Amino acid sequence: MTMPASNDADRADPDAELLLRYAQGDAAAARLLTVQLTPRIFGHAYRVLGDGAEAEDVTQDALMRLWKIAPDWRIGEAKVSTWLYRVVANLCTDRLRKRGRGVALEDIAEPADPTESAEARLQRGARQEALQTALDELPDRQRQAVVLRHIDGLANPEIAAILDIGVEAVESLTARGKRALAKRLGGQRDALGYDDDKT
């Protein structure tokens, strides 16, 4: 496969160029693409699944699927990141179906930041735990839409492509999910120290 000339699709999706270079045997392109994509898809999987080990498995599985389709990738049909998020979303949905709802909070390890004070670390952990608990209570599709929009920061059209639904459905899912989270977390504002924040 010869690499196509640079065009608007290449500029719109720089990951596609790296993927094509990988398909031609460029190991450095694969490493760079992995470094760029792994934190985003791991973060999404972790937020949806609430389990670091499962999120690592999903991330690895999704990247393996990306490497397998690399030789057949056609620039312009889909963005690499959109395709990869969709694979991760499907893998997460499969895992959620297999294990049933929720994960015990004590099983979710919270990474510590050594530069934070103990109080700040505890506060951050409590907030993340409260958010994860509230996310776990949302229906699966709402949770995925909320995580993709409000945590991963993706635009509604990209989320629609990932979840294979219309943009209006994405807007509805994220709005309902956001309202449900606000309702679940609203009564914990004082306990989570939001009224103490100076910023």
Reference 176, options 146, 155, 156; nearest CA is: 146
CB of 141 closer than 8 Å to CB of 126: no
The number of beta carbons lying within 10 Å of the beta carbon of residue 32 is 16
Report the pLDDT value the prediction gives residue 9, as an integer from 0 to 100: 43
Q: What is the dihedral of CA 37, 42, 44, 49, to 10 degrees?
A: 160
The alpha carbon of 93 is separated from its chain's Cα centroid by a whole number of angstroms, namely 13
CA 54 from chain centre, in angstroms, equals 13
Do 71 and 1 touch, CB atoms closer than 8 A?
Answer: yes
Residue-wise pLDDT tens digits, 159-181: 999 889 999 999 999 999 989 88
Structure tokens at 136: 């776990």
| pLDDT per residue as tens digits for the range 80-89 | 988 999 999 9
Residue with tokens 């914990």: 188
Q: What is the pLDDT of residues 66-119, one digit of tens each?
A: 999 999 888 878 889 889 999 999 999 898 888 765 545 455 455 544 565 666
Flag whether the pTM goes above 0.75: no
pLDDT one-digit tens code per residue, 115-152 = 656 666 777 777 788 788 888 888 989 999 988 888 88
User: In this structure, what is the dihedral angle of CA atoms 42, 47, 52, 55, given to the nearest 10 degrees?
Assistant: -50
Q: How many Å separate Cα 77 from the centre of its chain?
A: 21
Of 10, 25, 5, the C-alpha closest to 70 is 25
Tell me how far CA of residue 103 lies from CA of 39, 65, 91, 95, 99, in angstroms.
22, 26, 17, 12, 9
